[in-house]
Amino acid sequence: MGLGNDTLMSEFVLLGFSEKPTLQPLIFGLFLSMYLITVLGNLLIILAVSSDSHLHTPMYFFLSNLSLVDICFTSTTVPKMLVNIQTQSKAITYAGCITQMYFFIFFAGLDDFLLAVMAYDRYVAICHPLHYMIIMNSQLCGLLVLMSGIMWALNSLLQSLMVLRLSFCTDLEIPHFFCELKQVIQLACSDTFLNNMVMYFVTVLLAGGPLAGIIYSYSKIVSSIRAISSAQGKYKAFSTCASHLSVVSLFYCTSLGVYLSSAATQSSHSSSAASVMYTVVTPMLNPFIYSLRNKDIKRALKRFYGMTCTKGTIILR
């Protein structure tokens, strides 16, 4: 096992983006703004979907779950970084690091699976419209979300337990703003071959599977859209999945770009800065993409805002 006293009593050090004191207020303000926008934007999506009965459909059920996961995903990393900047401390306890790692893997994977489930939902809606409500019934939708959660909860538990078996020496500095699995494994003194094998195998299996499902779904969607004779029909069919396709492109392009660039440059600090794109920026932009490109969401938000103003006026009177 190798859990010595050094591991039990140690704290990891999150180096973050910059060690210059003059940049800390700027970094704090920037990330606090992005975090608040992420939480507020995704919360508005959840409230709009839950308050409008017209949006109680499978597509918006998955969208509200995606918004909730995005809030939790960002909350696993940004608040701790903000606290560290405010307290001028870069330390995170061993238990805190393992906990942060567990929830980061869990919500990142759940985000990935929800995007794949939403792609399948669009595939059924466009390719099998007459059987859409029969196939995408409430039981199946709930089961898909539940199974995705259970699968990634088990994976996160496995990865965390694999890290617990490692022993760590004196160099406990993580060149990142959160406890990333790969960075933590690289700090271990003991043999990490099994950890790396499990990490890469699970990543290819559980992350590559949803991506393959998304590609397959959209290949069928494109084939069905091309078979539609009228241009208006093609536009209407494509518009139903344009927002989701934008979110998928943003998520995978940023995450793949981070890992490809980090592998090319071998710079931990550049990788840390680039990872902000899929850990913070993407969850922040998702509500804007869905609200700006979706008339139903905009209508629901206006109705929700009108109800809130009406209730406020009644209370004041």
Whole-number Å distance between alpha carbons of 202 and 27: 33
Cα distances from 308 to residues 290, 297, 303, in angstroms, run 21, 16, 9
Question: With a threshold of 0.85, does the pTM exceed it?
Answer: yes
Write the CB contacts of 178 (distance below 8 Å, at least 6 apart in sequence).
Answer: 14, 76, 77, 80, 81, 100, 104, 279
Q: What is the pLDDT of residue 73?
A: 96
Helix axes 295-316, 24-51, angle to 10 degrees: 90
Q: What is the pLDDT of residues 26-66, one digit of tens each?
A: 999 999 999 999 999 999 999 888 888 888 899 999 999 99
SS3 92: strand
- Cβ neighbours for 135, distance < 8 A, ≥ 6 positions apart: 124, 128
pLDDT above 90 as % of the chain = 45
pLDDT value, residue 6: 46
Q: Are 208 and 47 in contact (CB under 8 A)?
A: no
> What pLDDT sits at residue 259?
66
- What is the CB-side half-sphere exposure of residue 225 using CA atoms within 13 A? 20
- What secondary structure does DSSP assign to 150-213, as a single string? HHHHHHHHHHHHHHHT--B-S--EESSSS--HHHHHHTBSS--HHHHHHHHHHIIIIIHHHHHH
Predicted confidence at residue 5, as pLDDT, reads 40
Residues in the chain where the model's pLDDT stays below 70? 1-9, 258-271, 292-293, 304-317
Task: Measure the CA–CA gap between 136 and 142, rounded to whole angstroms.
Answer: 10
Which amino acid is located at 92 in the chain?
I
Domains in the chain, please, with CATH?
A: 5-311 (1.20.1070.10)
Distance CA 164, CA 160 (A): 6
